[in-house]
Amino acid sequence: MTTHIEVRRYPFGEPVRLDAHPLFAKLQRDEPVSRIELPFGGEGWLVTRFEDVRIVLADSRFSRAAVVGREDLPRVTPEPARGDSLLNTDPPGHTRLRKLVAKAFTGQRVRALRPHVREIVDGLLDDMVRDGSPADLIPALALPLPVTVICEMLGVPPRDQHRFREFSDTVMSTTAATREQIVTARAGLETYLSEQVAERRERPRDDLLGALVSARDDGDRLNEAELVNLGVTILIAGHETTANQIANFTYVLLSEPGRWEFLRAHPELVPNAVEELLRYVQLGSGGGFPRIATEDIELSGTLIRTGDAVFINTQAANRDESVFTAADTLDLTREHNPHMAFGHGFHHCLGAQLARIELQVVLEALLGRFPNLRLAAADADIPWKRGMLVRGPKSLPVSW
């Protein structure tokens, strides 16, 4: 049984662009279950190996529900976990919620969106061409696309879509916003969504929020709080990560010679490239959400005791050399790619298929419309977000 002495502060400093912190590879090799101290609530365990991360994500003995409302538990955000979120429930409660949501969030509903996603992208790129080169890809494409798609899915009118951008910027903060600002932003959005839910109860609509309102399973249905908080979760998951990944993927492809040209010559590899970029790109800032061990469990020779907080790092796991050949290399032709960018187990991301569609359509359209796309700023001049749960550039100037 391994005994750990060193306790490291976590996250391991402010992230640099999309670089993987070298300590993750060292820990994965020499100390796969390590002791960490979080900005709030004290100490926990950090798990970095692929197989161990899969276990933590899929084993119900690692509980998300047990963290709810616990000020004393370690975390990277000022606000402790809330109990009214799909993210913070365990089976059987999680199974019930997910089953009801899945009735509204069907694969068929999502797949049918692809032509409309392409239509939105084409419109945004038309505006880019009209305004001329260079352009900032963030406000021109990366932000408006996923915001428009998820708001249209939910049935949020265009005049109100700005609310969600502002809300997400605040609620996804680690140090960029105060606890009071996070609470206020969430309360404002919850009030708005409550009004939208009430409207659909009186006048049903054929949108995702309307489908959630009408979802039934043997007489069971979502209550008011569940509906509102599912709306919040879907809004955040539906646009924040995708917006950052559109910018991140474009940056990665343009920042090294030959990558964009290779994909331009092999557009049929776009779906493959999206999967590899999902594996390769370090989206998270090194934080994450804790789980609580509900009994003594051993991982990689380390005993995790009942009540201990456990953090996983899927991005480190996605660079595990025992699973991915040349794991630190971006290989756009990689075939064996069981990455965990969308999680694993019963908390696997419901919106994974939608994110894939948006990312594929964006790359296909950019490659087709702007074959000579290039960065319009030196690498050192591209500003990056700080104090957030996810990484991404604040602006990404491109020319063609």
The C-alpha atoms of residue 110 and residue 114 are separated, in whole angstroms, by 8
Do residues 33 and 302 lie in contact, with contact meaning Cβ atoms separated by under 8 Å? yes
Query: What single-letter amino acid sits at 386?
Result: R
Q: Would you place residue 4 in the very low, low, confident or very high pLDDT band (cuts 50, 70, 90)?
A: low
Tell me which range, 152-156, 215-219, 365-369, 387-391, is most confidently predicted by mean pLDDT.
Answer: 365-369
Pairing of strands 309-312, 42-47: parallel
E-strand stretches of the chain = 7-9, 33-38, 42-47, 62-63, 135-136, 291-293, 297-299, 302-304, 309-312, 374-375, 397-399
The C-alpha atoms of residue 112 and residue 101 are separated, in whole angstroms, by 18
HSE value, Cβ hemisphere, 13 Å, CA-based, for 77? 24
CA dihedral (343, 347, 353, 355) positive or negative: negative
For the cut 60, the answer to whether the pLDDT of residue 1 exceeds it is no
Strand partners, 62: 293
- How high is the pLDDT of residue 222? 81
Return the structure tokens found at 6.
Answer: 């060193």
The C-alpha atoms of residue 248 and residue 257 are separated, in whole angstroms, by 16
Q: Would you place residue 192 in the very low, low, confident or very high pLDDT band (cuts 50, 70, 90)?
A: confident
- How high is the pLDDT of residue 82? 74
- How high is the pLDDT of residue 168? 66
Q: Would you place residue 9 in the very low, low, confident or very high pLDDT band (cuts 50, 70, 90)?
A: very high
Helix (H) and strand (E) counts in the chain: 15, 11
Confidence (pTM):
0.90
What is the average per-residue pLDDT within 125-137?
97
The C-alpha atoms of residue 376 and residue 345 are separated, in whole angstroms, by 41
User: Hey, how many other C-beta atoms are within 10 angstroms of the C-beta on 75?
Assistant: 24
Q: Would you place residue 35 in the very low, low, confident or very high pLDDT band (cuts 50, 70, 90)?
A: very high
- How high is the pLDDT of residue 154? 83
Token look-up 């005993």 returns: 303
- How high is the pLDDT of residue 217? 59
| DSSP class of 320 | -
The C-alpha atoms of residue 310 and residue 351 are separated, in whole angstroms, by 25
Q: Which tens digits make up the pLDDT trace of 262-298?
A: 999 999 999 999 999 999 999 987 777 899 999 999 9
